[in-house]
Structure 1
Amino acid sequence: MTRLIDLTQTLDPANRARLPPALAGAAVVVAPRIEYQHPREQGADEFCRYLGCTHDDLPDGEGWGSEILTDMSSHCGTHVDAPLHSGSRIAGAPARTITDIALGELYRPGLVLDVRPWAKLGEEITVAMLDAALAATGAAIQPGDAVLIRTGQERYSMDDPEYYQQPGMGRAGTLHLTRQGATILGTDAVGWDLPFGLMARKFQQTRDKAVLWDGHKAIVEREAFIVQQMTNLGALPLSGFMVGFFPIKLAHCSAAPARVVAFVD
């Protein structure tokens, strides 16, 4: 019997209030604003407006339930990054958008690389850490695999400062995985790379542009899809499962929110 394990965060507008003031501008990637229209309230009003009736005419006193979503990024919540997010050209060819990706590319065998024994807040996840975590799976990365990085960020909630100081992937680690054949790269952290504040400070100190978003920019050299803000990776075996990453079909976009589900025998 196959178990379905949900790896998707809930898009709850209440999470916006949990962001630290310094990160208020990131609200669009945490959750949309939602106007709830209950069947007995605004839903009844809308029903009557469209159908030319009054509340007294409603057979059960109710209209329809509906919601209006606004102020939402294509990178909101658990989402799939298309190659276009990393640059306009990937491996010398025009970058693909989210609607260029076939469903078969998004339903793949999965591996969990648990780097919690070595990863530290605000520090890069190294190739040595990845290799040690891969050895623990007893498997090798095969072409087309989805590699999911368990960083340990499930310990924290959006109320915790540590949530925004995730261990991050850099260029070396990202290419190490894609060169072995991984085409989907997932993380339970809020971002794939190191926190933006740390990258900015590194750049100010060194003026080395290579430190800016180097994990994502590694996709320019070798195509893959990055999936961020996953959850529940601890419920998975380290290998031997399938995982589906099914983004909303947003035409020509660089990303889309997705329902991510693992299928475990």
Structure 2
Amino acid sequence: MRIIDLSKTIFENPNDPFFMKVKINQKIHKKAKWIIRLFGLPFKLFPNEFQGWADDQIKRLGVHASTHLDAPYHYGPISEGKKAKTIDEVPLEWCYGEGVVIDMSYKADFEPISAQDIEIFLEKHAIVIKPMMIVLIKTGRDKYIYDKDYYKKGTGMTADATLYLINKGVKVMGIDQWGWDLPLPYQIEQAKKTNNKNLFWEAHLVGVNHEYCHMEQLVNLDALPYTGFKVACFPLKIKGGSAGPARVVAFLD
């Protein structure tokens, strides 16, 4: 079995925009010696090999700043007429299952992904979407993931494409670009230009009436076949959280 890492590396990247800044305080070994001394262990009783322990403190990490799973609560406080699930309430059964890659890497920046696009791909490759599969949308934009303009690039799922997968019984889906919808600055620009309030966040907002989760900022989907693998995407259990950073991996037999 091979395990493929589909997760972004978390570090203090100077190219990250202000709303995604990460701050990590990394303590080297020798600093920990003084902490142990304060706990009451005399220096003379330190093991000869003990140089102190390394320690790290994440001082700032937005739940949407890394590879993450969005909870239904992210899209709105209500989903399917009831309180939307927060990330700690998402069933773990949703987070492991048979995976499918849908290749939309031919799509240009700002060209949306429709339900018809997905249907054509599935028919061409004789792929059948089954309930509880985890569907991964490949755009190829993960190659920009550490670049300054990463969040400004990409295609994006439409409401009808998202609903198409939900109607097939899919509870978790993901994408290898910054967001699930078209790039945020482009959405805002187009909404203002057309004075159309329905253009903004259309795919996310499907979750208000149809309960589902999606992952954003995946990487390495190029390393996967279209079918024949399993996906695990367990998020951090953050009480009341709108999302959870996740170590997403694929298992290939």
Please classify the TM superposition score into its range, dividing by the shorter chain length: over 0.9
Distance 1:150 1:219, change over 3 A: same
2:180 equivalent to 1:219? no
CA RMSD between the two structures = 1.7
2:177 equivalent to 1:189? yes
Q: Which residue is equivalent to 1:4?
A: 3
* TM-score normalised by the chain length of structure 2: 0.93
Would you say the 8 A contact 2:152–2:186 is kept in 1?
A: no
The Cα offsets for residues 15-37 of structure 1, whole Å up to 9 and x where unpaired, read as 2x023xxx32332xxxx311111
**How is 1:38-187 mapped onto 2 (pairs within 5 angstroms)?**
38-40=28-30, 42-54=31-43, 57-59=45-47, 60-117=49-106, 119-159=107-147, 161=149, 164-187=152-175
Distance in 1 of aligned mates of 2:150 and 2:245: 24
Distance 1:105 1:183, change over 3 A: same
Distance in 1 of aligned mates of 2:194 and 2:181: 18
The Cα offsets for residues 100-154 of structure 1, whole Å up to 9 and x where unpaired, read as 122212111110000112x111221122321222234422111111110000113
Instruction: Read off the aligned partner of 1:26 and give its amino acid letter.
Output: M
The Cα offsets for residues 135-194 of structure 1, whole Å up to 9 and x where unpaired, read as 344221111111100001133342263663111112121112111221111000011111
- TM-superposed CA distance for 1:197, in Å, is 1.0
Q: Which residue is equivalent to 2:241?
A: 253
Q: Which residue is equivalent to 2:23?
A: 33
- TM-superposed CA distance for 1:67, in Å, is 0.7
Q: Which residue is equivalent to 2:15?
A: 18
Aligned-partner SS, 1:68: strand
Distance in 2 of aligned mates of 1:95 and 1:157: 30
Distance in 1 of aligned mates of 2:108 and 2:134: 23
* 5+ residue gaps, structure 2: none
Moved beyond 6 Å, runs of 4+: none
Distance 1:113 1:255, change over 3 A: same
Higher helix share: 1
Distance 1:238 1:167, change over 3 A: same
Would you say the 8 A contact 2:154–2:177 is kept in 1?
A: yes
- TM-superposed CA distance for 1:75, in Å, is 1.8
Distance in 2 of aligned mates of 1:83 and 1:215: 12
- TM-superposed CA distance for 1:38, in Å, is 1.3
Q: Match for 2:226 among 238, 243, 246? A: 238
The Cα offsets for residues 63-82 of structure 1, whole Å up to 9 and x where unpaired, read as 21111111111223111111
Distance in 2 of aligned mates of 1:159 and 1:116: 18
Would you say the 8 A contact 2:68–2:245 is kept in 1?
A: yes
Aligned-partner SS, 1:243: strand
Percent of residue pairs identical: 32
Distance 1:137 1:249, change over 3 A: farther
Distance in 1 of aligned mates of 2:208 and 2:150: 29
